[in-house]
Amino acid sequence: MSVPSSYSRTQIMLHWGIAILILVQMVSKFAIGPAWDAIEKGQEITGITPILHVIPGISVLLLVIVRLILRFRHGVPKAVEGGSPLQEKAAKAAHIALYVLLLLIPASGLTAWFGGVSQAADAHGLFFKALLALILLHALAAIYHQHVLKDGLMSRMMKSG
Protein backbone atom coordinates (compact mmCIF):
# COMPACT_ATOMS: atom_id res chain seq x y z
CA MET A 1 0.00 0.00 0.00
CA SER A 2 1.26 3.52 -0.82
CA VAL A 3 2.04 6.01 1.97
CA PRO A 4 0.75 9.49 1.03
CA SER A 5 1.95 12.62 2.87
CA SER A 6 -1.63 13.61 3.77
CA TYR A 7 -5.26 12.46 3.73
CA SER A 8 -6.97 13.34 0.44
CA ARG A 9 -9.74 15.98 0.28
CA THR A 10 -12.28 13.21 -0.24
CA GLN A 11 -11.01 11.28 2.80
CA ILE A 12 -11.29 14.43 4.93
CA MET A 13 -14.78 15.21 3.62
CA LEU A 14 -15.87 11.63 4.33
CA HIS A 15 -14.44 11.76 7.88
CA TRP A 16 -16.46 14.89 8.80
CA GLY A 17 -19.50 13.94 6.71
CA ILE A 18 -19.80 10.62 8.55
CA ALA A 19 -19.28 12.38 11.91
CA ILE A 20 -22.23 14.71 11.07
CA LEU A 21 -24.38 11.73 10.05
CA ILE A 22 -23.63 10.04 13.39
CA LEU A 23 -24.98 13.18 15.09
CA VAL A 24 -28.06 12.99 12.85
CA GLN A 25 -28.54 9.37 14.00
CA MET A 26 -28.37 10.38 17.64
CA VAL A 27 -31.28 12.76 17.05
CA SER A 28 -33.28 10.60 14.64
CA LYS A 29 -33.28 7.68 17.11
CA PHE A 30 -36.27 9.57 18.55
CA ALA A 31 -38.06 8.84 15.27
CA ILE A 32 -37.21 5.13 14.99
CA GLY A 33 -37.24 4.20 18.71
CA PRO A 34 -41.02 4.64 19.23
CA ALA A 35 -41.70 3.03 15.81
CA TRP A 36 -39.62 -0.01 16.81
CA ASP A 37 -41.40 -0.27 20.17
CA ALA A 38 -44.77 -0.14 18.34
CA ILE A 39 -43.69 -2.92 15.94
CA GLU A 40 -42.53 -5.11 18.84
CA LYS A 41 -45.93 -4.64 20.51
CA GLY A 42 -47.72 -5.43 17.23
CA GLN A 43 -49.12 -1.90 17.07
CA GLU A 44 -49.31 0.52 14.16
CA ILE A 45 -46.47 3.03 13.67
CA THR A 46 -47.45 6.64 14.45
CA GLY A 47 -45.40 9.81 14.96
CA ILE A 48 -42.26 10.94 13.13
CA THR A 49 -41.28 8.80 10.15
CA PRO A 50 -38.48 6.25 10.86
CA ILE A 51 -37.07 6.97 7.38
CA LEU A 52 -35.29 9.91 9.03
CA HIS A 53 -33.12 7.29 10.77
CA VAL A 54 -33.03 4.60 8.08
CA ILE A 55 -31.80 6.78 5.16
CA PRO A 56 -28.88 8.51 6.96
CA GLY A 57 -28.01 5.12 8.54
CA ILE A 58 -27.75 3.44 5.14
CA SER A 59 -25.75 6.46 3.90
CA VAL A 60 -23.23 5.89 6.72
CA LEU A 61 -22.81 2.27 5.64
CA LEU A 62 -22.23 3.21 1.99
CA LEU A 63 -19.87 6.09 2.83
CA VAL A 64 -17.81 3.90 5.20
CA ILE A 65 -17.41 1.33 2.41
CA VAL A 66 -16.25 4.11 0.02
CA ARG A 67 -13.91 5.34 2.76
CA LEU A 68 -12.37 1.90 3.27
CA ILE A 69 -11.88 1.45 -0.49
CA LEU A 70 -10.10 4.83 -0.63
CA ARG A 71 -8.04 3.87 2.41
CA PHE A 72 -6.77 0.79 0.57
CA ARG A 73 -6.26 2.64 -2.72
CA HIS A 74 -4.90 6.00 -1.55
CA GLY A 75 -3.43 4.81 1.78
CA VAL A 76 -3.15 7.00 4.87
CA PRO A 77 -0.26 9.17 6.13
CA LYS A 78 2.08 7.48 8.59
CA ALA A 79 1.78 8.21 12.32
CA VAL A 80 2.96 11.63 13.49
CA GLU A 81 6.53 11.69 14.75
CA GLY A 82 7.37 11.64 18.46
CA GLY A 83 4.85 9.01 19.57
CA SER A 84 5.90 5.76 21.24
CA PRO A 85 5.30 2.42 19.44
CA LEU A 86 2.60 1.72 22.05
CA GLN A 87 0.79 4.98 21.22
CA GLU A 88 0.97 4.13 17.52
CA LYS A 89 -0.48 0.68 18.15
CA ALA A 90 -3.26 2.14 20.35
CA ALA A 91 -4.21 4.67 17.66
CA LYS A 92 -4.23 1.97 14.98
CA ALA A 93 -6.37 -0.34 17.12
CA ALA A 94 -8.80 2.51 17.88
CA HIS A 95 -9.14 3.33 14.16
CA ILE A 96 -9.79 -0.33 13.28
CA ALA A 97 -12.40 -0.57 16.07
CA LEU A 98 -14.08 2.62 14.81
CA TYR A 99 -14.33 1.18 11.28
CA VAL A 100 -15.66 -2.16 12.56
CA LEU A 101 -18.36 -0.42 14.62
CA LEU A 102 -19.23 1.90 11.74
CA LEU A 103 -20.01 -1.26 9.72
CA LEU A 104 -21.66 -3.29 12.51
CA ILE A 105 -24.03 -0.53 13.62
CA PRO A 106 -25.87 -0.02 10.32
CA ALA A 107 -25.68 -3.78 9.57
CA SER A 108 -27.38 -4.64 12.89
CA GLY A 109 -29.91 -1.80 12.39
CA LEU A 110 -30.81 -3.14 8.94
CA THR A 111 -31.13 -6.68 10.31
CA ALA A 112 -33.44 -5.46 13.08
CA TRP A 113 -35.59 -3.22 10.89
CA PHE A 114 -35.94 -5.27 7.73
CA GLY A 115 -35.48 -8.71 9.31
CA GLY A 116 -37.55 -8.06 12.44
CA VAL A 117 -34.76 -9.47 14.63
CA SER A 118 -34.99 -7.98 18.13
CA GLN A 119 -31.57 -9.32 19.23
CA ALA A 120 -30.08 -7.29 16.39
CA ALA A 121 -31.79 -4.18 17.80
CA ASP A 122 -30.26 -4.89 21.22
CA ALA A 123 -26.84 -5.36 19.62
CA HIS A 124 -27.38 -2.11 17.64
CA GLY A 125 -27.84 -0.18 20.90
CA LEU A 126 -24.79 -1.81 22.52
CA PHE A 127 -22.54 -1.23 19.50
CA PHE A 128 -23.61 2.40 19.53
CA LYS A 129 -22.60 2.80 23.20
CA ALA A 130 -19.17 1.35 22.36
CA LEU A 131 -18.88 3.73 19.39
CA LEU A 132 -19.76 6.72 21.56
CA ALA A 133 -17.09 5.77 24.13
CA LEU A 134 -14.47 5.33 21.38
CA ILE A 135 -15.40 8.61 19.69
CA LEU A 136 -14.97 10.39 23.01
CA LEU A 137 -11.49 8.89 23.50
CA HIS A 138 -10.66 9.57 19.84
CA ALA A 139 -11.68 13.25 20.07
CA LEU A 140 -9.82 13.69 23.39
CA ALA A 141 -6.70 12.16 21.84
CA ALA A 142 -6.98 14.53 18.85
CA ILE A 143 -7.37 17.54 21.19
CA TYR A 144 -4.39 16.36 23.29
CA HIS A 145 -2.24 16.12 20.16
CA GLN A 146 -3.38 19.56 19.03
CA HIS A 147 -3.06 21.52 22.26
CA VAL A 148 -0.51 19.62 24.41
CA LEU A 149 1.83 17.85 21.98
CA LYS A 150 1.28 20.53 19.30
CA ASP A 151 2.33 18.04 16.63
CA GLY A 152 -0.10 19.17 13.93
CA LEU A 153 -2.14 15.95 13.97
CA MET A 154 -5.45 17.80 13.87
CA SER A 155 -4.54 19.75 10.73
CA ARG A 156 -4.15 16.41 8.90
CA MET A 157 -7.93 15.97 9.18
CA MET A 158 -8.61 19.62 8.30
CA LYS A 159 -6.86 20.19 5.01
CA SER A 160 -5.14 18.08 2.41
CA GLY A 161 -1.63 18.62 1.06
Residues that bind ligand HEM (CB under 6 A): 15, 18-19, 22, 25-26, 29, 32-33, 36, 53-54, 57-58, 60, 71, 76, 91, 95, 98-99, 102, 105-106, 109-110, 112-113, 121, 124-125, 128, 135, 138-139, 142-143, 153-154, 156-157
The sign of the CA dihedral 130, 136, 140, 141 is positive
Residue 50 CA to residue 48 CA, distance in Å, equals: 6
Q: How far is the CB of 84 from ligand HEM (least distance, A)?
A: 14
Q: How far is the CB of 48 from ligand HEM (least distance, A)?
A: 13
Residue 77 CA to residue 56 CA, distance in Å, equals: 29
Of 58 and 69, CB closest to ligand HEM = 58
Q: How far is the CB of 5 from ligand HEM (least distance, A)?
A: 12
Of 10 and 15, CB closest to ligand HEM = 15
Between the alpha carbon of residue 132 and those of residues 19, 83, 129, 136, the distances in Å are: 11, 25, 5, 6
Q: How far is the CB of 123 from ligand HEM (least distance, A)?
A: 10
Residue 41 CA to residue 114 CA, distance in Å, equals: 16
Please state the φ and ψ torsions of residue 47, each to the nearest 5 degrees: 90, -155
Of 71 and 130, CB closest to ligand HEM = 71
Of 139 and 149, CB closest to ligand HEM = 139
User: Angle CA(147)–CA(151)–CA(157) in degrees, nearest 5?
Assistant: 85
Of 26 and 69, CB closest to ligand HEM = 26
